[in-house]
Amino acid sequence: MNRRSFAANALGGALLVAATAGACAQSSPQPLPRPRMMQQSDVAPLKVAMLVYSRMVTLDLVAPQSVLQMLNSEIHLVGETREPVATDLGLPVTPTCTINECPRDLDVLFVPGGLMGSVACMKNPAILDFLADRGAHARYVTSVCTGGLVLGAAGLLRGYEATAHWAVTHLLPLMGATKVDARVVHDRNRLTGAGVTAGLDFGLTLAVLLRGQEAAERTQLILEYEPAPPFRKGTPVLAGPERVAEMRTGRVWMEGQAWDASLAAAKRLGL
């Protein structure tokens, strides 16, 4: 095997990947070239809108975004305004367009998680109206982590099976969804992922729907996604009742806020 050219092509796709500019302003201070992923240059770019908001979880956005941009996507980071938002990691994310500027017809509408930030979105009529409007037209309506609560509050999961971060999935039925305990849940054109790291499994599942199995598999190889966690404690069942009990104490306020926001959304939705 010629390792040099083998490696070269893989990295060409993997590591000189596209910047995220859409029709709106580029957030990067040093815009990068936008090479297309191999085998994808003959397809039209996917129109993707990813909501960004204060206190979001960076990894909830970055993992799906990493997959989507390898599929020849025009990615819009959509903020309520163009002000940079602060994430859980302190890395600011600058919207590339506002909710008013976001294209109307989307292949993918995506909402990341970030609990108190998600709760704020669940109570924000401008955000909810935006999601309801674009969600009614989008080819796929999607979320990861507590982003599922925001879709729910916008009325977009009513009558659908869905999931979210394990700690909040019990709130989904309040907003008309059928809770499913799975890593990724696909019901018609809704695709929801579980907590944080589920963004990778979600992203590859979405890749299959958007670009087919082969393109998704190529993306997986580039991202070298063959996970090997050093231990298996990633769900409440695997973590066991002792750790779960230990994690139950304290911070009741925050969950109360999520609960109240879900009930308020249910009332608005006539549920």
- Comparison of 129 and 246: residue with beta carbon closer to its own copies: 246
Cα separation, 143 vs 201, in Å, equals 12
State which residue, 55 or 268, has the beta carbon closest to its own copies: 55
Shortest Å distance, C-beta 131 to its own copies: 20
To which residue do tokens 């083998």 refer?
A: 6
Q: What CA–CA distance (Å, rounded) separates 93 from 91?
A: 6
Contact 86, 118 (CB under 8 A): no
Nearest distance from residue 147's CB to its own copies, in Å?
11
Shortest distance (Å) from residue 77 CB to its own copies: 8
24 in catalytic set? no
Nearest-approach distance from CB 226 to its own copies, in angstroms: 3
> 146-166 burial by CB neighbour count: b if 16+ within 10 A, else e?
bbbbbbbbbbbbbebbbbbbb
Using alpha carbons, list the distances in angstroms from residue 121 to 94, 107, 192, 264: 17, 22, 17, 12
What Rg do the C-alpha atoms of the chain give, in angstroms? 19
Q: Which is nearer to its own copies, 72 or 197 (CB)?
A: 197
The nearer residue to its own copies, 17 or 135, going by C-beta atoms, is 17
**Shortest distance, CB of residue 87 to its own copies, whole angstroms?**
8
For its own copies, which is the closer residue by CB, 135 or 168? Answer: 168
Distance CA 105, CA 225 (A): 31
- Catalytic annotation, residues: 145
